[in-house]
Amino acid sequence: MTRPRDVVLIALVAILIAGATDILPAWSAPFGAPHPAADLSASGLTGWIFAEQAAVYRSLSTFIRAAKENGGAIWGLFGISFLYGVFHAVGPGHGKAVISSYLVANKETWRRGIILSFASATIQSVVAIVVVVIAAVLFGATAKAIGLTVHLVEIISYGLIILIGLRLLYVKGRSFLIALRELRWTQAPNLVFASAPVANGTAHRLSPERAGAIATRRGQCMVDGCTVHGFHCHDDQHASAWAHAHGPEPADLAGAGGWRRGLSAVVAVGLRPCSGAIIVLIFALAQDLFWTGVGATLMMGLGTALTVAAMATVAVSARQIASRIANSRAGAGMLAMRTTEVGAAALIVAFGVLLLAGDMASEQLWMFTG
């Protein structure tokens, strides 16, 4: 029975590690720019996705040109734009990673995961459209000015991600410490009590720290023996710790305050427009097909939302299964959950800092025109 549970716990840790591996190459970058070979190591499935999305992107220009000649071609364009969104979001990009980490850290529901994914993708499309309308259509700005605008928006977005991460880190860090303390203090007396016949009074001489340390190490077997010893109260204690540390239960999160809190993450992530969308919009504008470009951008957003929602669902499911296990194991399991949450929150901060520092490969729209 423990085996599948362990697998899930390991899987959850793997999510965090995978998130971290997105960061690691960025750390090593200053010591030598990674060679394209590193990117091409994404052979097989990822290689295929990589090639597909490049091909799809390149075909967008053909579809936009076709739409100019023949109005019916617009549906082909919308279809290919949707497909591009799906493939594009599969690649790197902090959006998916930040949203998944946010959902894991914040104990969000599956339904909210999907809604947040769609909301952030929609905001992303709308920001691209707004930037192009204001900069290009109204002011006739150059690519340089647009690149600078996107860069500025990007910095704000990364700053917000750091703030959200720090706030989560503070809240989750505190509940981690609470879980840690509960584990030590509630179990220490049990251990002394349980081991008293064996230790024959020596337990009295144990310093509180030492007893706590032993209790932590023995936490697993203490919980197993919980009902036998009549310490069923454990479950209640942990349930209350849960509520204390995490505010409202999932059901309450649907309230207005809950939505507003989710909104901050969605805006932070969605604020940064996709370079591809900006380029497609400007290209459509140059062909006098601006509204076609707007439609294509919204379809891209829809495709992106689908992929991000899928990823978010995986993250939320893993989180829920893990928390069910944690509930059944109390003590150590609870601590593992708190650790996971702190890890996810720390990951958000790390993403934000790396993105802001420009160490993480991001799409640099101003590469030629900055």
Partner 1 sequence: MIKRKSCFCAILLLGLFMNRAEAHPHVWVTLHSEVLYAADGTMMGVRHAWTFDDMFSAYALQGISHAKKGQYTREELASLAQVNVESLKEYAYFTYVRADGKKLKFSDPVDYWLEYKNAALTLHFTLPLKAAASAKLMQIEIYDPTIFVDFEFARETPVSLSGAPQCSLTYDLPHQPTPAEQLRLSQLDSDPLDASSTYGQIFANKMLVTCP
Instruction: State which of positions 253-292 bind partner 1 (CB under 8 A).
Output: 275-276, 278-280, 282-283, 285-287
Q: Is 370 in the site for partner 1 (CB under 8 A)?
A: yes
Could you tell me the smallest distance in angstroms from the CB atom of residue 127 to partner 1?
Answer: 17
Cβ-based nearer residue to partner 1, 241 or 282: 282
Backbone dihedral angles phi then psi of residue 239, each to the nearest 5 degrees: -60, -40
Instruction: State which of positions 9-28 bind partner 1 (CB under 8 A).
Output: 11, 14-15, 18-19, 21-22
In terms of DSSP H, where are the helices of 218-330? 219-224, 233-246, 256-270, 275-286, 290-329
Q: Is 91 in the site for partner 1 (CB under 8 A)?
A: yes
The CB density around residue 314, as the number of other CB atoms within 10 Å, is 15
C-alpha span between 69 and 259 (Å, rounded) = 45
Could you tell me the smallest distance in angstroms from the CB atom of residue 27 to partner 1?
Answer: 15
Could you tell me the smallest distance in angstroms from the CB atom of residue 211 to partner 1?
Answer: 37
Q: Binding segment for partner 1 among 120-128, 151-159, 195-203, 306-314 (CB under 8 A)?
A: 306-314
Residues near 350 by beta carbon (within 8 Å), at least 6 away in sequence: 20, 23, 165
Backbone dihedral angles phi then psi of residue 142, each to the nearest 5 degrees: -85, 170
Could you tell me the smallest distance in angstroms from the CB atom of residue 98 to partner 1?
Answer: 12
Could you tell me the smallest distance in angstroms from the CB atom of residue 143 to partner 1?
Answer: 5
Cβ-based nearer residue to partner 1, 276 or 331: 276
Token pair for residue 238? 């942990």
Q: Is 8 in the site for partner 1 (CB under 8 A)?
A: yes
Options 13, 61, 148, 166; binder of partner 1; rule CB under 8 A: 61
Options 74, 98, 146, 188; binder of partner 1; rule CB under 8 A: 146
Cβ-based nearer residue to partner 1, 171 or 348: 348
C-alpha span between 263 and 257 (Å, rounded) = 10
C-alpha span between 296 and 128 (Å, rounded) = 12
Instruction: State which of positions 199-258 bind partner 1 (CB under 8 A).
Output: none
Give 18: exposed, middle or buried? Use CB within 10 Å, 0-12, 13-18, 19+: exposed
Q: Is 92 in the site for partner 1 (CB under 8 A)?
A: yes
Could you tell me the smallest distance in angstroms from the CB atom of residue 267 to partner 1?
Answer: 23
Could you tell me the smallest distance in angstroms from the CB atom of residue 100 to partner 1?
Answer: 9
**Among residues 193, 201, 154, 194, which one has the least CA distance to residue 352?**
154
Options 80, 150, 306, 311; binder of partner 1; rule CB under 8 A: 311
Q: Is 49 in the site for partner 1 (CB under 8 A)?
A: yes
Could you tell me the smallest distance in angstroms from the CB atom of residue 53 to partner 1?
Answer: 6
In terms of DSSP H, where are the helices of the chain? 2-28, 36-40, 44-69, 73-90, 94-106, 110-132, 143-199, 208-217, 219-224, 233-246, 256-270, 275-286, 290-329, 331-357
C-alpha span between 130 and 229 (Å, rounded) = 65
Q: Is 45 in the site for partner 1 (CB under 8 A)?
A: yes
With vertex at residue 346, the alpha carbon angle to CA 23 and CA 321, rounded to the nearest 5 degrees, is: 100
Instruction: State which of positions 320-339 bind partner 1 (CB under 8 A).
Output: 321
